[in-house]
Amino acid sequence: DVKLGESSFGVVYKGSFRGNVVAIKKMKTVLDDERLMGEFENEVSMLDKFRCEYIVHFYGAVFIPNKACMVIEFAQYGSLQDLMKHKTMMQHKEFRIFMIMGYYTETLNQITFLCVGTPVYMAPEVLNKKKYTKSADVFSFSISLFECAIWKDPYLDKQFKFAWDIVDFVVSGKRLKRPSYLNEDIYNIVDDMWCQDVHKRINVRDVILKLESINI
């Protein structure tokens, strides 16, 4: 087994399961906290329902005295951030959802799995603790799409030194400007996706249609 990362909450190892290369996330403190254990169980239940070639495969979870871990498909290319550091391009189908979220390393520090997010991707209504809807996912995707389009961290500017700086920026209705090198059609789609008004925010089907219509 090869250790991929570690935090105060758990350790992620590279291993094998029935001939497949997998990532094994072993939790440290979850069993000592009923709330965290409940979150862990909920995430396992949700992950078990996902079966899609574009989502990292969930093999299962283990609950035994003093130990809790989950086994998922190993993303050999790492996170989107890893790819950006190496300036490596690849076919779109290789960008799994968890890769974009930086699943193996970024979320390790939060004992999160899927539902606990980061301010970088959170919609303003979610940050304001309002009802979570599909539109919030569209907003999150807009940040990922923008990140892929500019091929760097979207919040590198000095004004975003801390996470709450991003929160204040988004909640106040402000958005990132279009770099001169970014295709205007792509930026316009992103702009429709991160609209402050939930009811005016574009839906996923229209996002796909618009992206497919762009001639780059």
The CATH number assigned to the domain holding 60 equals 3.30.200.20
Same domain, 97 and 185: yes
Interacting residues of 14 by C-beta distance below 8 A, sequence separation 6+: 1, 2, 3, 4, 21, 22, 23, 24, 74
* pLDDT, tens digit (0-9, with 9 covering 90-100), for 135-179: 999 999 999 999 989 988 889 888 998 888 999 999 999 999 999
Contact between 6 and 12 (Cβ < 8 Å): yes
Return d(Cα 113, Cα 94) in angstroms, integer: 20
Same domain, 135 and 165: yes
Same domain, 163 and 141: yes
Q: Which of 46, 73, 100 is the last residue of a domain?
A: 73
Tell me the one-letter amino acid at 40: F
Return d(Cα 100, Cα 182) in angstroms, integer: 20
Task: Give me the pLDDT at residue 98, please.
Answer: 39
Q: Which of 24, 57, 73 is the last residue of a domain?
A: 73
Please identify which residue in the block is written with the tokens 């979220």.
101
Same domain, 65 and 87: no
Q: Please give the residue that has the higher pLDDT: either 47 or 167.
A: 167
What is the percentage of the chain residues whose pLDDT exceeds 90?
36
Looking up residue 105, the CATH number of its domain turns out to be: 1.10.510.10
In the three-class reduction of DSSP (H, G, I as helix; E, B as strand; rest coil), residue 62 is classed as strand
pTM given for the model = 0.65
What is the average pLDDT score of the chain? 79
Query: How large is the average pLDDT for residues 177-204?
Result: 95
Same domain, 29 and 89: no
Q: Is the dihedral of CA 195, 149, 75, 57 positive or negative?
A: positive
Q: How many structural domains is the chain composed of?
A: 2
Tell me the one-letter amino acid at 2: V
* pLDDT, tens digit (0-9, with 9 covering 90-100), for 110-143: 333 333 456 788 999 999 989 888 899 999 999 9
Same domain, 27 and 101: no
What does the radius of gyration of the chain's CA atoms come to, in whole angstroms? 18
Model confidence at 14, pLDDT cuts 50, 70, 90, reads very high
Q: Please give the residue that has the higher pLDDT: either 43 or 135.
A: 135
Same domain, 204 and 144: yes
Model confidence at 32, pLDDT cuts 50, 70, 90, reads low
Same domain, 58 and 141: no
Same domain, 91 and 153: yes
Residue 17, domain extent: 2-73
* 202, pLDDT greater than 60: yes
Same domain, 24 and 124: no
Q: Which of 30, 48, 73 is the last residue of a domain?
A: 73
Same domain, 57 and 119: no
Please identify which residue in the block is written with the tokens 């929160």.
167
Lowest mean pLDDT among 30-44, 107-121, 199-213: 107-121
Please identify which residue in the block is written with the tokens 């391009």.
89
Same domain, 108 and 165: yes
